[in-house]
């Protein structure tokens, strides 16, 4: 709703370019372009006698923007593809902002009209210019791959993150990140001879690299640095401490490896809320003993304290109760024990799920269901009476004892006759057969 193809009418009604939410020119901010600015003054006419501002904001690859002066007073609008002054040659870009809002952006970046970075606009891009520009952009991925191969052969401690060709295809800018100073003079010679172009090396930081590459954060949204964030402020671990966050680098670090920029977004709100809280190193004196601070819930206004000598139990107190104890301690008086204070705290039960319209709980599949076989076996065991089973088992044992008869040897009590052979132990039939077979085989072998 900001460029000429999808601007607003005289009555302020948006026309729209009928691209279903995607800006056809790439300059409205509703599409996929990064760091786009909405022109709220596009449907307003300038006062009589005032000329239109002749400096335009031009966008290049990955949200890189520069300001260019319309020296020849060409009829340009937002979304036009133009040829601008390069170093050397010319570059191709898209007008991302025009009119009075350009003054605001230049003031924000501290750039004046006569600044050396404000270059000229040559012309509107012809079809030949656009073809050469698109052909150069198509070579960027292959150039980056081969550039990394050359970088690996030289063994330099640097990372090649992106490559950007100039619109005329005669120059390429290689963006890299490095932890220390790198001597890349030999690398420039190898790249220039491999691609036959003019090479420019530009070092960027880890945050700038993430902003150029883009991505999706842990919150599920596109990275702030690649969509709307332009200035990268310093983020320290104290911001996480004020917000009572655990100092876990895996959760606090973003895709750039640094602390997340969003830690500074709510820091002022937490600082305002902490003004009414006492200092964490303050010791509470009670009748039972001294109590020290453990943790707090800032927005629910709860504080947890524990005794110095009995640290196994924590006591939840409200902010008003803690301030009451502090006032008593200032008057050299000891307060009652923390157990009595905690008993007065009313904790509101939070309803996590309420079946108001007959819907099922989200955690209904978490608990495993007991099997039906086990349930049926348990019911059968419960139905049998214990006394009946005991009587039944005792009767069975008696019957078994009556049926069993002691084995007696008839020759056991008779006196042995003279010359009778002593009883030999029985042998198993299987052993006999095995012995016969073995004796037979051995006899055959001997014969």
Q: What is the pLDDT of residue 1?
A: 38
Q: What is the pLDDT of residue 422?
A: 53
Domain boundaries 134-204, corresponding CATH code: 3.30.300
Q: What is the pLDDT of residue 35?
A: 65
Q: What is the DSSP letter of 287?
A: S
Domain with CATH 3.30.300 in the chain: 134-204
Q: Which two tokens stand for residue 37?
A: 């600015």
CA–CA gap between residue 33 and residue 1 (Å, rounded): 14
Number of CB atoms found within 10 A of residue 1's CB: 18
Q: What is the pLDDT of residue 442?
A: 47
Contacts of 236 (CB under 8 A, 6+ apart): 259
pTM for the structure as a whole? 0.61
Contacts of 158 (CB under 8 A, 6+ apart): 151, 176, 177, 178, 182, 184
Give CA separation, 404 vs 106, 245, 393, in Å.
113, 80, 17
Q: What is the pLDDT of residue 7?
A: 55
Mean pLDDT by 10 residues, the chain (447 residues): 52 53 46 63 76 89 88 89 90 90 89 89 93 93 92 90 91 91 89 91 89 87 86 88 88 90 91 90 89 90 90 89 91 88 76 62 69 63 53 58 52 49 52 51 46
Q: What is the pLDDT of residue 93?
A: 93
Q: What is the pLDDT of residue 351?
A: 64
> Closest by alpha carbon to 30, among 19, 44, 14?
19
Q: What is the pLDDT of residue 199?
A: 92
Q: What is the pLDDT of residue 232?
A: 84
Condensed to tens digits (0 to 9), the pLDDT of residues 6-61 reads: 555 555 555 555 544 445 444 454 344 566 777 777 777 777 777 888 999 999 98
CA–CA gap between residue 353 and residue 360 (Å, rounded): 9
Q: What is the pLDDT of residue 361?
A: 67
Condensed to tens digits (0 to 9), the pLDDT of residues 198-245 reads: 999 999 888 888 888 888 988 889 898 888 887 788 898 999 989 988
CA–CA gap between residue 274 and residue 267 (Å, rounded): 11
Q: What is the pLDDT of residue 146?
A: 93
Q: What is the pLDDT of residue 22?
A: 46
Number of CB atoms found within 10 A of residue 244's CB: 12
């Amino acid at each position: 709703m900001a460029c000429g193809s999808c601007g607003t009418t005289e009555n302020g009604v948006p026309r729209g370019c009928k691209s279903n939410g995607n800006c056809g020119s790439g300059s409205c901010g509703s599409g996929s372009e990064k760091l786009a600015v909405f022109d709220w003054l596009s449907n307003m006419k300038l006062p009589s006698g005032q000329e239109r501002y002749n400096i335009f904001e031009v966008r290049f690859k990955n949200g890189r923007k520069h300001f260019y002066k319309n020296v020849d007073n060409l009829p340009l609008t937002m979304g036009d593809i133009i040829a601008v002054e390069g170093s050397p040659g010319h570059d191709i870009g898209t007008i991302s902002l025009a009119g009075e809002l350009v003054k605001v952006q230049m003031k924000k970046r501290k750039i004046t009209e006569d600044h050396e970075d404000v270059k000229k606009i040559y012309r509107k891009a012809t079809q030949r210019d656009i073809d050469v520009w698109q052909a150069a952009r198509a070579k960027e991925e292959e150039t980056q791959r081969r550039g990394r191969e050359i970088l690996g052969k030289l063994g330099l401690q640097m990372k090649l993150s992106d490559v950007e060709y100039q619109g005329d295809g005669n120059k390429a800018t290689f963006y890299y990140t490095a932890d220390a100073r790198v001597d890349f003079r030999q690398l420039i010679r190898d790249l220039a001879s491999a691609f036959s172009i003019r090479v420019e090396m530009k070092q960027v930081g880890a945050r700038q690299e993430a902003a150029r590459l883009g991505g999706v954060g842990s919150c599920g949204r596109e990275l702030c640095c690649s969509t709307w964030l332009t200035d990268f402020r310093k983020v320290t671990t104290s911001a996480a401490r004020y917000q009572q966050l655990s100092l876990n680098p895996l959760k606090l670090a973003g895709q750039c490896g640094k602390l997340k920029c969003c830690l500074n977004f709510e820091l002022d709100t937490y600082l305002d809320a902490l003004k009414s809280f006492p200092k964490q190193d303050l010791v509470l004196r009670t009748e039972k003993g001294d109590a020290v601070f453990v943790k707090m819930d800032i927005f629910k206004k709860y504080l947890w304290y524990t005794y110095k000598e009995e640290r196994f139990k924590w006591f939840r107190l409200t902010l008003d109760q803690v301030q009451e104890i502090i006032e008593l301690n200032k008057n050299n008086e000891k307060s009652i024990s923390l157990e009595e204070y905690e008993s007065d705290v009313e904790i509101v039960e939070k309803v996590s799920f309420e079946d108001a319209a007959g819907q099922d709980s989200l955690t209904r599949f978490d608990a495993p269901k007991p099997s039906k076989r086990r349930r049926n076996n348990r019911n059968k065991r419960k139905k049998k009476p214990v006394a009946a089973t005991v009587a039944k088992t005792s009767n069975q044992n008696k019957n078994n004892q009556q049926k069993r008869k002691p084995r007696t040897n008839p020759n056991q009590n008779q006196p042995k006759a003279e010359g009778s052979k002593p009883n030999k132990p029985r042998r198993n039939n299987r052993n006999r057969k095995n012995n016969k077979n073995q004796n037979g085989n051995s006899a055959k072998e001997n014969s």
